[in-house]
Amino acid sequence: RASPAGSTIASLLLMLSFAVLGASTALLAGASAPAGANGVVRPRAAVLLAEAAATTDEQKASGISWDSHQYVDQAPESLIRDDDLQGANQDMRRRFEENCRRAQNAICKAVSELDGAEFREDVWTRPGGGGGISRVLCNGNVFEKAGCSLSVVYGSMPQDALQSATSRGADRAKGYAPGERVPFFACGLSSVMHPRNPMAPTMHFNYRYFETDGGVWWFGGGSDITPAYLFEEDIAHFHQTYKDVCDTHDPEYYARFKKWADEYFTIKHRGETRGLGGIFFDDQNDRDPEAIFAFSKECLDSVVPAYLPLVAKHKDDSFTQQQKEWQLMRRGRYVEFNLVYDRGTVFGLKTGGRIESILMSLPETARWEYSHEPAAGSPEAEIMDAFKTPREWAK
């Protein structure tokens, strides 16, 4: 059996494996990349190095990079810069940031009260505007790791890169000539909570607002739950909380956003979902922005009542070493999804975001067992069925 690995080992090994697998296979087999414009055939390793250099060049062009942030002792009153751009919704930008900061304070306070430990806070700014406030609780009494981070980003991206982040083909490059870079603004609050006890579920949420300098705007977000063991009443509570919120704003929201979450959080190479879903939405600009802002606000306000009672219920449950190992294997699946498929991770890496904030979602410990299959009729097999066949949880 493999032994549990610390976050540094687990995350780095997986990241490196995905990054260099193609290169190592090609080199061992003597393979080369296709010929370039000059007809010269380059080894695969050279191609990867060229891609890495292109990524660095892209970060420079975007105006932000891995090391462009500056740490400050105290968060400024606002991370929003004063723009006089025609079409920029400065009022929405400021109110969305204010709401994210309010929610961050409330959620971190509730988590600290349950855990008994405090969050570490890091604050940074960028010369071109924006910055972030990251709060992480590590090695707590209830949570192995809990993070809640605010980000405000000003940058620019190529049109194809910006378009790749969309779910339904929204025209994010409106107002720009083909090939022209698109300046953008983004503000969001993201969180992942990893409890110690395998009977208590992991939870993730992210709510965000985007604008381009061309006047295109949209909202995105969602909350989802990832248990290692199935307690049907817990999952029903989480889903029902968000269905009630959805129904208040649009009776069609929950069915659409629940299905979207089931599809989005699928680990395609495993043929299973990361967890048991919740709601997920993106590219929302089909109605008054005030209406979508109000929906996002109520979703954020529902994080604590939807999730923390479940952790409080199970934080002191007894469990075996085998059950702990199963939790760590499910965390391994969490890592796979986040590093391979998660749109926010990809966006952060492409735009040169702060690495500690981008990878905050990863658990401190995870586990991979070779060709592991749960025993038939076991609690592990029961929840695997739910991961492979999404169910309806809310009434």
Residue-level pLDDT at 84: 65
Residue-level pLDDT at 18: 39
Give the pLDDT mean for 72-82: 90
Q: Which of 69, 194, 204, 239 is catalytic?
A: 204
Lowest mean pLDDT among 54-58, 76-80, 144-148, 237-241: 54-58
204 is catalytic: yes
pLDDT class of 344 with cuts at 50, 70, 90: confident
pLDDT class of 24 with cuts at 50, 70, 90: very low
pLDDT class of 159 with cuts at 50, 70, 90: confident
Residue-level pLDDT at 181: 84
Residue-level pLDDT at 350: 73
Rg over CA atoms, the chain: 21
Give the pLDDT mean for 260-264: 97
Residue-level pLDDT at 63: 56
Q: Could you tell me what percent of the chain has a pLDDT over 70?
A: 77
Residue-level pLDDT at 156: 83
Residue 38 has pLDDT above 60, yes or no: no
Residue 239 has pLDDT above 70, yes or no: yes
Residue-level pLDDT at 215: 81
Lowest mean pLDDT among 62-66, 266-270, 341-345: 62-66
Give the pLDDT mean for 141-156: 94
Residue-level pLDDT at 376: 97
Give the pLDDT mean for 371-390: 97
For residues 37 and 298, the model is more confident at 298
Residue 365 has pLDDT above 50, yes or no: yes
Q: Could you tell me what percent of the chain has a pLDDT over 90?
A: 63
Give the pLDDT mean for 319-335: 97
For residues 349 and 117, the model is more confident at 117
Task: Indicate the DSSP class of residue 131.
Answer: E
| Residues 6+ away with beta carbon under 8 Å from 275 | 201, 202, 224, 225, 226, 227, 265, 334, 387
Smallest Cα–Cα separation from 80: which of 64, 93, 67, 61?
A: 93
Residue 187 has pLDDT above 60, yes or no: yes
Residue 17 has pLDDT above 80, yes or no: no
For residues 389 and 2, the model is more confident at 389
Residue-level pLDDT at 50: 47
Smallest Cα–Cα separation from 191: which of 76, 308, 75, 292?
A: 308
Residue-level pLDDT at 343: 82
Lowest mean pLDDT among 6-10, 51-55, 72-76, 158-162: 6-10
List % helix, strand, coil for the chain (3-state, nearest 5): 45, 25, 35
Smallest Cα–Cα separation from 222: which of 182, 252, 192, 250?
A: 192
Give the pLDDT mean for 258-264: 97
The DSSP secondary structure of 15-65, one letter per residue, reads: HHHHHHHHHHHHHHTT-EEEE-TTS-EEEHHHHHHHHHHHHHHHHHHHT--
Residue 145 has pLDDT above 90, yes or no: yes
Give the pLDDT mean for 183-197: 95
What mean pLDDT value characterizes the chain? Answer: 84
Lowest mean pLDDT among 35-49, 223-237, 249-263: 35-49
Residue 389 has pLDDT above 50, yes or no: yes
